Amino acid sequence: DVKVTQSSRYLVKRTGEKVFLECVQDMDHENMFWYRQDPGLGLRLIYFSYDVKMKEKGDIPEGYSVSREKKERFSLILESASTNQTSMYLCASSFTSWGQFFGPGTRLTVL
Amino acid sequence: GQQLNQSPQSMFIQEGEDVSMNCTSSSIFNTWLWYKQDPGEGPVLLIALYKAGELTSNGRLTAQFGITRKDSFLNISASIPSDVGIYFCAGQGDFGNEKLTFGTGTRLTIIP
């Protein structure tokens, strides 16, 4: 079974802090994605990566950056956290057009 | 970015009832996917559809890829308590483009 793990299930940070969300997949997938999920808005794509050291902006990249130094790991960085970044963050990976596999999510609260 | 119109937003049904939900788009998609999200977890893929007109089943779940390629439907027959959760549709455009566009979700609640 594909396994996508995220470093934390719950995280509480203060405004202005730098926040790192880590995601690891164990199936050698080429593609990795970061989404945020907010009530009534569904899943919105922040950034994605097709390969190591490669990244592309999704629909809502402002206030975020990413890093992919190894194939299995994709990190989401909030350079200076703000309260409007309080959300559920979901990481996913995929190999081809067989659908994306999601991690359990990190619920981030920014105070 | 584009989002899919998914309806209904929420459903309250009794155990044993059948459920229907759908997604519509102004754009054509080459693949339609249906996911389910349990409370506190990430979405899990239920069904994938790859051809216009395709009808696919997975146990009590049946999904269809609309002929126009702009819509998809999910039906759940004889609902049970573990069907509770949020159901998302997702569309994929060009083959080789791995980005998905997600619907806003349908929250299913089963009344005892």
Q: What confidence tens digit (pLDDT) does each residue in A41-63 have?
A: 889 999 999 999 899 999 999 99
| B46: closest chain A residue by CA | A99
Is the C-alpha dihedral spanning A84, A88, A93, A97 positive or negative? negative
Residue A102 has its nearest CB partner, among B43, B98, B99, at B43
Alpha-carbon gap, residue B35 to B89, rounded angstroms: 6
Express each pLDDT in A86-101 by its tens digit. Answer: 999 999 998 865 678 9
Alpha-carbon gap, residue A90 to A21, rounded angstroms: 10
Chain B residues in contact with A100 by the CB 8 A cut-off are 45, 98, 100
Determine the Cα angle at B6 with ends A85 and A82, to 5°. 5
Residue A43 has its nearest CB partner, among B31, B88, B92, at B88
Express each pLDDT in B54-91 by its tens digit. Answer: 999 999 999 999 999 999 999 999 999 999 999 999 99
A105 to B41: CB separation less than 8 angstroms, yes or no: yes
Average pLDDT of chain A is 93
B98 to A59: CB separation less than 8 angstroms, yes or no: no
